[in-house]
Chain A
Amino acid sequence: MPPPIRRIVVDRHPHMAKPAPAGNGAGVANGGVAIATSLAAPSVAERTARAPAASVRERMHVESLWLAYGENWVVRDVTLPVRQGEVLALIGASGSGKTTLLRSLNRLTEITDSAARAGRITLDGQDIHELEVTELRRRVSMVFQQPNPFPMSIFDNVGYALAERPDGRRRRRRRSAAIEHAVHDALHRAGLHDEVGEDLERSALRLSGGQQQRLCIARALAAEPEVLLLDEPCSALDPISTATIEELIVGLRERVAVVIVTHNLQQAQRVADHVAFMHLGELVEYGPADQVFERPARQRTRDYVSGAFG
């Protein structure tokens, strides 16, 4: 069901919570949250038990961003910070522009010919459109809704992200110890190493769906990105795989800034430190997860998180 077309009265200034002081990240609003979750994933579900990330600092900044496909503006005047040390969840109904916003962060929107853009996105203060696109995408990596491993071995899937350096040196076949180490490290970080063991020559297509998705995360992590974008990474997975990946996401935020698009509000509650709620391309509310879910400032947000529409 699409949301009823009721134009929200937008005052062009979405409700932005005061950013939490650095070093206190998610800690501010962690007091006594009781979240009813349908999934049994205690380690992630109980956010109270989660330690805040050691340091939080801003990596990317989206400034009055407008995005269009053809004549259709799908993201309207969005301003958002993306911080390392925390997980940012983009929530909203279908067609609210979450995925487009996410894809614009590593310029994947440019694959579509009709895409147009206004506004600015910066990575560490530098405009991402001034960066070489391949370099940007190495620094801002992405995992998709459908697990999409390449039809090669597990090792080659992860190594693919590393194998070719921008200077064009080719290292196919000849596996340097550095690559070997990086691949194993990425698989460890994605929590897949214990399951696939030492047999990395198996075809990646023989893994289960959840394992394939974690392989994709490992692949995205292998090049040591600074920002990790996740586009509904669990929507094609079963609850157990979902719990594993959520745990993983929370663990990753120390080293990379994580942005996740999700339709699953419980999931957003479980993993996110900050939540941005979008509606019809506009950013309605942005703030710490607990505040957005427990004490939303806007009626529209309240409706959405309480399940009134979408």
Chain B
Amino acid sequence: MASAQTLDRPARNTIARPPRESHASWPLADRLCHALCWATGIGLCLVTAWIVLYMLVKGISALNLKLFVESPAPSLRERESGGFLDPLIGTFIITAIGMAFAAPAGVGIATWLTEYARPRWLARAVESGIETLAGVPSIVLALFGLLVFARGFFSFLSGSTNGGAVSGKSFLAAGLLMSVLALPLIVGTTREALTQLPSRMREASFALGKTRATTIRRVLLPSIRPGIASGVVLGMGRIIGDTAIIVVVLGASPKLQGAGGAPLLSTLRGSGSTLTSYVYGFSPAGEGNSPQKAYAAAFVLLMIVLALNGVVTRLSRGRSLDTIEQGAKP
């Protein structure tokens, strides 16, 4: 440090830098591809900016605080159709239920796959099962859920009519399906993080007389906390953004409609909506015919998802800084 202050830097015009490579010398095909790369990159930025700005302008002009505190009302006139308090709450409920199942299950599966994976055939089966789940379209999952949860055995999940028919539509049912949707993401990021841990960390723990279970609980999982967190946040984004499962398995009622019984349980077993189904229902595509409110809700939805993306980026950046630091030490 001290020497940097006493020494004079060379004058700017005496510093030699390698000359920039000239594209003119490239073959025509290379120059075309190069230009194409630029064009697609800039195009992508433009499209993103367009979407965000469009929603921003449309959304902000329609946005007001009252929307956040009023429940939706069944009215064809935009002025009287209320706000989106219920869908907002619905989004939170669905995300919470989905994560309550997906996070522990996902971390558990990932840990078993990387640290135990015996017997081999079972590990392979679990692996391809997860891959299959990751590829299932959510509408297929929704349809499956509707069929399964409408069976009498699952009547505790949703309300039933007096005749005994189970509706199969509830926050619990939709949340469970959502957890299936988020599971592959959490398993993926957790596995990735676990496999990146150096094996000497495990050896160090074994050499101290610790069991595999203790090693996982006390050393491995705490070390990959950022990895797990970014998996959870990715999964949350997936859940918040999904529409198909909501429309099919949660029902079309914009308001929270309890299924009767104890207050909280009634809501969980009941029907309702989330921001995605609200946007769908109130947009020109749906029946609500309140496009302004749909724009406002879509804007809120977009902001939530963008914020989650920001969190993922921060988490993964923090993690990579950590590993660099760790790797830099001899």
Instruction: Name the B residues within 8 Å of A212 (CB-CB).
Output: 329
A152 with B208: in contact, given A144-B203, A205-B325, A209-B330 (CB under 8 Å)? no
**Are A152 and B210 in touch, CB under 8 angstroms?**
no
**Are A160 and B219 in touch, CB under 8 angstroms?**
yes
Contacts of A199-246 to chain B: CB distance below 8 A? 205-209, 212, 216, 219-220, 223, 236-237
**Are B208 and A219 in touch, CB under 8 angstroms?**
yes
**Are B326 and A151 in touch, CB under 8 angstroms?**
yes
Total residues of chain A contacting the partner, CB 8 A: 36
Interface bits A153-185 vs B (CB < 8 Å: 1, else 0):
000000011011000000000000000000000
**Are A108 and B206 in touch, CB under 8 angstroms?**
yes
Interface centre among A151, A152, A206, A223 (most CB of B within 10 A): A151
**Are A220 and B223 in touch, CB under 8 angstroms?**
no
Interface bits B184-208 vs A (CB < 8 Å: 1, else 0):
0000000000000010110111111
Name the contact of B207 in the complex, choosing from A137, A163, A205, A208 (C-beta under 8 A).
A137
Taking the complex as formed, is A124 at the interface, i.e. its CB lies under 8 A from any CB of chain B?
A: no
Question: A150 to B204, alpha carbons, bound, how many Å?
Answer: 8
A150 with B329: in contact, given A108-B207, A164-B210 (CB under 8 Å)? no
A209 with B329: in contact, given A111-B206, A138-B208, A141-B208 (CB under 8 Å)? yes
Question: A141 to B211, alpha carbons, bound, how many Å?
Answer: 14
Closest residue on chain A to residue B199 by CB atoms: A111
**Are B223 and A151 in touch, CB under 8 angstroms?**
yes
Question: A272 to B76, alpha carbons, bound, how many Å?
Answer: 91
Taking the complex as formed, is A146 at the interface, i.e. its CB lies under 8 A from any CB of chain B?
A: yes
Closest residue on chain A to residue B207 by CB atoms: A142
**Are A106 and B207 in touch, CB under 8 angstroms?**
yes
Taking the complex as formed, is A53 at the interface, i.e. its CB lies under 8 A from any CB of chain B?
A: no
Question: A59 to B210, alpha carbons, bound, how many Å?
Answer: 22
Interface bits A253-283 vs B (CB < 8 Å: 1, else 0):
0000000000000000000000000000000
A260 to chain B, nearest CB (A): 15
Instruction: Name the B residues within 8 Å of A220 (CB-CB).
Output: 207-208
Instruction: Name the A residues within 8 Å of B210 (CB-CB).
Output: 134, 137, 160, 164
**Are A216 and B204 in touch, CB under 8 angstroms?**
yes
B177 to chain A, nearest CB (A): 36
Question: A302 to B329, alpha carbons, bound, how many Å?
Answer: 37
Name the contact of A205 in the complex, choosing from B200, B211, B219, B326 (C-beta under 8 A).
B326
Taking the complex as formed, is A191 at the interface, i.e. its CB lies under 8 A from any CB of chain B?
A: no
Taking the complex as formed, is A147 at the interface, i.e. its CB lies under 8 A from any CB of chain B?
A: yes
Taking the complex as formed, is B284 at the interface, i.e. its CB lies under 8 A from any CB of chain A?
A: no
Q: Interface size bucket, B side? A: 20 to 34
Taking the complex as formed, is A135 at the interface, i.e. its CB lies under 8 A from any CB of chain B?
A: yes
Instruction: Name the B residues within 8 Å of A146 (CB-CB).
Output: 200
Instruction: Name the B residues within 8 Å of A137 (CB-CB).
Output: 206-210
Interface centre among B208, B325, B326 (most CB of A within 10 A): B208
Instruction: Name the A residues within 8 Å of B204 (CB-CB).
Output: 144, 148-150, 216, 219
B227 to chain A, nearest CB (A): 12
Taking the complex as formed, is B214 at the interface, i.e. its CB lies under 8 A from any CB of chain A?
A: yes
Taking the complex as formed, is B218 at the interface, i.e. its CB lies under 8 A from any CB of chain A?
A: yes
A59 to chain B, nearest CB (A): 17
Instruction: Name the A residues within 8 Å of B211 (CB-CB).
Output: 134
Taking the complex as formed, is B322 at the interface, i.e. its CB lies under 8 A from any CB of chain A?
A: yes
Question: A160 to B204, alpha carbons, bound, how many Å?
Answer: 11
Question: A149 to B330, alpha carbons, bound, how many Å?
Answer: 12
Taking the complex as formed, is B286 at the interface, i.e. its CB lies under 8 A from any CB of chain A?
A: no
Question: A295 to B203, alpha carbons, bound, how many Å?
Answer: 38
Taking the complex as formed, is A136 at the interface, i.e. its CB lies under 8 A from any CB of chain B?
A: yes
Name the contact of A144 in the complex, choosing from B207, B214, B325, B329 (C-beta under 8 A).
B207
Instruction: Name the A residues within 8 Å of B223 (CB-CB).
Output: 150-151
A287 to chain B, nearest CB (A): 29
Closest residue on chain A to residue B198 by CB atoms: A148
Question: A185 to B222, alpha carbons, bound, how many Å?
Answer: 26
B6 to chain A, nearest CB (A): 27
A178 to chain B, nearest CB (A): 18
Instruction: Name the B residues within 8 Å of A209 (CB-CB).
Output: 329-330
Name the contact of A147 in the complex, choosing from B208, B214, B329 (C-beta under 8 A).
B329
A205 with B209: in contact, given A144-B203, A150-B219, A151-B322 (CB under 8 Å)? no
Can you name 7 A-B pairs with beta carbons within 8 Å? A108-B206, A148-B201, A151-B326, A164-B210, A164-B218, A216-B204, A237-B330
The 8 tightest CB contacts between A and B, nearest first, are A138-B209, A137-B209, A209-B330, A142-B207, A148-B200, A134-B209, A148-B204, A161-B208
With A137-B207, A150-B205 already in contact, 15 other A-B pairs whose C-beta atoms are closer than 8 Å = A138-B208, A147-B329, A149-B204, A150-B201, A150-B204, A150-B219, A151-B222, A160-B218, A161-B209, A163-B218, A205-B329, A209-B329, A212-B329, A223-B208, A223-B209
Enumerate chain B interface residues (CB-CB to A < 8 A): 198, 200-201, 203-211, 214, 218-219, 222-223, 322, 325-326, 329-330
